[in-house]
Structure 1
Amino acid sequence: MKRLTVMVVKGGSWALMTVFAVLTALNAWVILSTRDQITQDALECPHAPVGVVFGTSYGLKGGGSNPHFHARIDTAAQLLRLGTVDHLLLSGDNRTRYYNEPRYMWRALHAQHVPAHSMTMDFAGFSTFETVYRAHSVFRVSKAVLITQDWHLPRALFIANHLGLDAYGCVAEANRPRLDASMRVREWLARAATVGDLFLWHRVPHFLGPALPIESTDN
């Protein structure tokens, strides 16, 4: 019985080590294959017709505003003013009438004097995958700057590369809010899951619908 217990413990340990090694390898693939597409300084980001702004919650669960949201908004407005992008695609979650990420982004950008004709809202960007997929397939974007945090960009760019979207990442924050442990683990697992979505399960978005090309692009 004791010998069996030892064997089970050893087997479980090897299994956990194998899973950890696979997850680590997948994360390394995602990060290393996209690192040359990421620009840390907004002033140095390459031009693209469209800047894709990824949705996130306006507020934090414990109260207060979300610094990641404001960093994305500030960077998007800056890139538009600089002429780095010609148009902004605001893509986020709108699952209920009381939670509307694209609308929050639109209002925040409008408050920074971004004109309405320079923004398009995508209300079905329920995930990073769906935001990138719909930008390419529904809004017919062929070249874009992806605007989000540095820890999020590798996954978004990895998806874009797989789908054939010519994309670069512009880091959305100069003074980076600290990423807590739970978010680090979540992103670590999400990168690995993305590889499965693209190469094993061939994931597709919940909603596609008719093409809605953004006219200001030079596609």
Structure 2
Amino acid sequence: MKRAAAATAALFVLAVGVVLAANWWLLSRTQGRIEDDLLLCRAAPVGIVFGTSYWTRGGGRNPHYAARLDAAARLLRMQRVQHLLLSGDNRTRYYNEPVTMWRDLRKVNVRDSDMTLDYAGFSTFDTLVRAREIFAVDQALLITQDWHLPRALFIADALGIEATGCAAPTRRAAGEWRLRVREWLARVATLGDLYIWQREPYFLGPREPLQIAPAG
């Protein structure tokens, strides 16, 4: 029993060490490229908006969703970006993140010509691979929460996308600590995706370079 307990404790310490080391490395590689003030976010041809659920598990509107869309609309109006790539999950006819984002942005007078919908952004990894391989994006401003941006930037770097992060101002939400803990673990998994098991996106398809319309 003592040996089993010692082995379990050693494995736990090792796992914690791996998580901490992986997070430190990923954060150190992306620090300095995340801006919390929308007015100071670096301009780029394309803003990539990462999809998330409209609703929280408790039934209220998801503040992370609302913040991403508000930031995207403001960045477009300020001409920090010229075009928005709305990427998210489209798993069923009743759950369609890109279309939901498109509808809400239209309500605040964002032109259809300034938006492209990516229906196969099932994960951060898939969104960025598809941005590069399908939509021919090589320079982008990533629009999401500050705790999500380090992983997104790290993946973009690995794929050869020149990217900076613009943190969507978001009020604290109930249960947000779970998202942050999950993000710590997701960063570890990202290293495996990129360097160990060579993850591939769920779906690619034909190349469709973005058509950026002149500012209106």
- With the shorter chain as reference, the TM-score category is over 0.9
In structure 1, the partner of 2:166 is 170
1:69 aligns with 2:74: no
Query: CA offset at residue 178 of structure 1?
Result: 5.9
Query: CA offset at residue 30 of structure 1?
Result: 1.2
Instruction: Tell me, in whole angstroms, the C-alpha distance in 1 between the residues paired with 2:174 and 2:193.
Output: 28
Instruction: Tell me, in whole angstroms, the C-alpha distance in 1 between the residues paired with 2:71 and 2:144.
Output: 9
Q: 1:42-94, CA deviations, whole angstroms, 9 ceiling, x for partnerless residues?
A: 00011100000000000111111000000000000000000000000000000
User: Which ranges in structure 2 are unaligned for 5 or more consecutive residues?
Assistant: none
Match of 2:75 among 73, 76, 79: 79
Q: 1:120-150, CA deviations, whole angstroms, 9 ceiling, x for partnerless residues?
A: 0000000000001100111000100000000
Q: Is the 8 A contact 2:113 2:212 kept in 1?
A: no
In structure 2, the partner of 1:32 is 28
Q: 1:159-189, CA deviations, whole angstroms, 9 ceiling, x for partnerless residues?
A: 0000000000000115454662321221111
Match of 1:89 among 85, 90, 95: 85
1:215 aligns with 2:216: no
In structure 2, the partner of 1:52 is 48
- TM-score under structure 2 normalisation? 0.96
- TM-score under structure 1 normalisation? 0.94
Percent of aligned positions that are identical: 53
In structure 2, the partner of 1:196 is 192
Query: CA offset at residue 206 of structure 1?
Result: 1.0
Greater C-alpha radius of gyration = 1
Instruction: Tell me, in whole angstroms, the C-alpha distance in 2 between the residues paired with 1:16 and 1:181.
Output: 21
Give the 3-state SS of the residue equivalent to 2:47 in structure 1. Answer: strand
Instruction: Tell me, in whole angstroms, the C-alpha distance in 1 between the residues paired with 2:180 and 2:164.
Output: 22
Instruction: Tell me, in whole angstroms, the C-alpha distance in 2 between the residues paired with 1:141 and 1:160.
Output: 10
Give the 3-state SS of the residue equivalent to 1:167 in structure 2. Answer: strand
Instruction: Tell me, in whole angstroms, the C-alpha distance in 2 between the residues paired with 1:175 and 1:43.
Output: 18
1:133 aligns with 2:150: no
